[in-house]
Amino acid sequence: MEQNKTGKYLKYAISEIVLVVIGILIALAINNWNTSRINNNLEKFYIEGVINDIETDLVNLSTNISVDSQKVISGNYLLNHFKNPTQKNDSIILFHFSRLLPGTYYIQNSIVFEDIKFSGRLNTISNSSLRNNIQRYYSHGLQITDVLKENSRYAREFFGSHVYSEEFDINSILNEFGSSYAKSERMVEVNSFDSQLFYKSSNDPIIKELINRISINILLAQLNVTRLNIGKDYANELTHELKNYLK
């Protein structure tokens, strides 16, 4: 009798333990499923954010490529002019000069990537190859930023400093350019615009130096375009990879 009761209690206890274990396993499975779902949603959220940021980068890259391509066109226009300095519309020459002056700068839109990195959630992107490609893309973007910044500094010092010198009457040049292209009111002109500088012989020392500086500016713009196009290729490839991953 006692043995039967003990056996029943033992079976009951074992059953209870089994049920508890099963309950724990079910709870763990639900928890793991919920955690996985949250991680998947977070991963999707981050990847979509990175895609949006890269698409902004593509717009900026294309804009800078256009700016530097125009510098090359304008620089070559001026070189051709000095090669054969026949009379032209002064405003057109000034227009091409003006396109050589602005620096080219690029700052990546890395808001989402910085959030992922500094929150310690890089591993949220579960695919290691994709994760590495994202990191490489932003690392390459920083290189583009540094190269363009340095090239712009050099162009500003090498070309800009020459333009803003005594050979060029900037007041009259800007006055002529502003009224012709900016469609603005004429500023106070201290001296009237003298375009004779643009028609000197290419053997003139001032023009020789100017030609050399324009040539350097063209080369820097060409280097920028090459670098920016590589960045654009990186951006397009990564965007394609990210979108395929979300499918």
By CB neighbour count within 10 A (0-12 exposed, 13-18 middle, 19+ buried), where does 51 fall? middle
Quick one: which of 247, 221, 204 has its CA closest to 74? 221
Highest mean pLDDT among 17-31, 118-132, 198-212: 118-132
The pLDDT value recorded for residue 76 is 95
Q: What is the pLDDT of residue 205?
A: 86
Closest alpha carbon to 76 in 201, 218, 219, 199: 218
Residue 219 confidence (pLDDT): 93
In this predicted structure, what is the pLDDT of residue 109? 93
Mean per-residue pLDDT for 69-74? 94
Q: What is the rounded CA–CA span in Å between residue 147 and residue 108?
A: 13
Share of the chain above pLDDT 70, in %: 72
Write out pLDDT tens, residues 159-194: 666 665 556 666 666 665 555 555 556 566 656 666
pLDDT at position 218 over 80? yes
Quote the pLDDT of residue 200.
Answer: 84
Give the pTM. 0.77
pLDDT grade, residue 69 (50/70/90)? very high
The pLDDT of residue 178 is 58
Distance, in Å, from the CA atom of 74 to the CA atom of 197, rounded to the nearest integer, reads 18
Average pLDDT of the chain, as a whole number: 82
pLDDT for the residue 27: 66
pLDDT at 47: 94
pLDDT at 84: 84
The predicted-structure confidence for 108-139, as pLDDT tens digits, reads as follows: 999 999 999 999 888 889 899 999 999 999 99
Q: Which of 236, 240, 231, 241 is nearest to 140 (CA)?
A: 231
What does the alpha-carbon distance between residue 101 and residue 194 come to, in Å, rounded to a whole number?
Answer: 20
Q: What angle do CA 213, 216, 219 make, to 5 degrees?
A: 155
Residues in the chain, overall count: 247
Phi-psi region of 120 (alpha: psi -120 to 50; beta: other; left: phi over 0): left
Most confident of 57-66, 154-163, 189-198, 210-219: 57-66
In the chain, % of residues over pLDDT 90: 43
pLDDT exceeds 80 at position 239 = yes
Q: Is 183 left (phi over 0), alpha (psi -120 to 50) or beta?
A: left
Of 115, 141, 136, 126, give the one whose Cα is nearest residue 49: 115
